[in-house]
Amino acid sequence: ANEIVNIACVGVGGKGWSDMNETAAGHRIVAICDIDEQRLARAAERYPEAKTYTDWRKLLEQPNIDAVTISTPDHMHAVVTAAAMKQGKHVYTQKPLTHTVYEARRLTEIAAEQGVVTQMGTQHHATARLKIAVQTIRDGVIGKVSDVHAWTDRPGNFWKQGLERPDRSDPVPSHVHWNDWLGVAPERPYVEGLYHPFHWRGWWDFGTGALGDMGCHILDPVVNALELPAPKAIRAEGPPPHPESGPEWCIVHYDFPGTAHTTDTLKLTWYEAGKQPPPELFKAPEDWAGSKNGVLFIGEKGNLFVGFPEMPELFPKEDFADHKWPEFDNHNHYTEWTSAIVGDGKTGCPFSYSGPLTETVLLGNVAYRSGAAVEWDSKNLKAKGNEAAESFLRRDYREGWGGGSLES
């Protein structure tokens, strides 16, 4: 087998900059694409031998590509990833894997059909910290788990939600290809600082809100440790839904069927914008520092907390004074992907795992936006009796932007 992987990178500005540099170790960056010519120029300076593009469809015409990293805003993940996989390329795609539930289902199916090596960009999955937490739950240290609470401080000071779209536009900077940035999304006027870069997260046309942004990281150890299948039911509370802007906050309640590690039903609650479960649930010492992003598992024999980035802890502390934590090494999640491509080992977050995880995460947005509970029929991808929810499971694409790559 060829030991050097020829990698193409789509989106090399924000997180894509590190995705490119991390996966390059021992391999070759042969093509780079960004709709921002300044960001493209910075990447070209680092990899002068790589061909440069502002249109990913042109990049995929280059013949010598083995593998593609996709680090665009969320709305473009699915079409680029599907088109690359259909050419037999291995893919590394940022989280959330997709913008809609339907897209997540299709990428999972296409990955299986094509037999390519896949990895979603949830780098925490490979850390000793999360492996310790997952193993401790699986070992039954806190007994069967009945409830999980998960929280993030996003959007907070990171980006704004609960906005009205301004009734104005600004000139598009000469280095930005705005129509290519919009891609499959509906046409929107360029407004300085509103979407690009980074702030697109809070607009449903492009991003997936705080839940989509952090849920794939924070719910990963939950789905992984408890081996959760698709949820049975999802409901959400928060301010009245807005058609374009994500909410200032929401709380999402998921019910999952029981597994070997849970009671008959597992209840999961998601909190965002700094909201958190009631402090008395933790059973933590009074001087415990707390956490801005984390998970609390509640079991029959006690609680396990793991944070982003805090190490796992067991509460109440006095009940676990003699506990010996399992030992794990940190893996490199990026080289896991390139190594798997050359036949050495497996990725931790292949689409067979991260596709269903993304569906679960995005169903919280579907329930919130529909304004009603979702009774979920995962097999048929149906929100039974909730027509509004059905309309948020997939979207229409602008003509000509590669939507066809998702079809069977």
Ligand X SMILES: O=C1CO[C@H](CO)[C@@H](O)[C@@H]1O
Interface with ligand NDP (CB under 6 A) = 10-16, 33-36, 39, 56, 71-74, 76, 94-95, 121, 123, 176, 180-181, 183, 196-198, 213
Nearer to ligand NDP, 141 or 357 (CB): 357
CA separation for the pair 376, 390 (Å, rounded): 10
Contact between 217 and ligand X by CB under 6 A: the answer reads yes
Residues 150-209 that bind ligand X (CB under 6 A): 154, 158
> With CB cut-offs between 5 and 8 Å by kind, which of ligand NDP, ligand X, none does residue 73 bind?
ligand NDP
Residue 64's CB is within 10 A of a number of other CB atoms, namely 10
User: Which among 346, 88, 359, 87 has a CA at the least distance from the CA of 215?
Assistant: 359
- The structure tokens 């996003």 sit at 154
Q: Quick check: 188 and 341 in contact, CB under 8 A?
A: no
Which residue, 140, 150, 272, is CA-closest to 201? 272
Q: Do 10 and 68 form a contact (C-beta atoms < 8 A)? A: yes
Q: Least distance from C-beta 152 to ligand X, angstroms?
A: 8
- Least distance in angstroms from the C-beta of 113 to ligand NDP: 24
- Contacted by 16, from ligand X, ligand NDP, none: CB < 5 to 8 Å by type: ligand NDP
Q: Which of 208, 32, 206, 223 is nearest to 124 (CA)?
A: 223
How many amino acids of this chain bind ligand X (CB under 6 A)? 5
Cα(143)–Cα(261) distance, integer angstroms = 8
Q: Which of 34, 74, 147, 213 binds ligand X (CB under 6 A)?
A: 213
Residue 220 as a binder of ligand X (CB under 6 A): the answer is no
Minimum CB distance to ligand X smaller for 147 or for 336: 336
| 290, interface contact from ligand X, ligand NDP, none, CB < 5-8 Å by kind | none
> What DSSP string runs through 269-326?
EEE-TT----GGGT---TT----SSEEEEEESS-EEEEESSSPPEEESGGGGTT----
Q: Using the minimum distance from each CB to ligand X, give the nearer residue, 6 or 69.
A: 69
* Binding of ligand X by 293 (CB under 6 A): no
Q: Which is nearer to ligand NDP, 67 or 374 (CB)?
A: 67
Collapse the DSSP code of 112 into the 3-class scheme (helix H, G, I; strand E, B; otherwise coil) and give the result. helix
Q: Cβ closer to ligand NDP: 106 or 196?
A: 196
Cβ closer to ligand NDP: 354 or 386? 354
CA–CA separation, 233 and 384 (whole Å): 10
Point out which residues bind ligand X (CB under 6 A). Answer: 154, 158, 213-214, 217
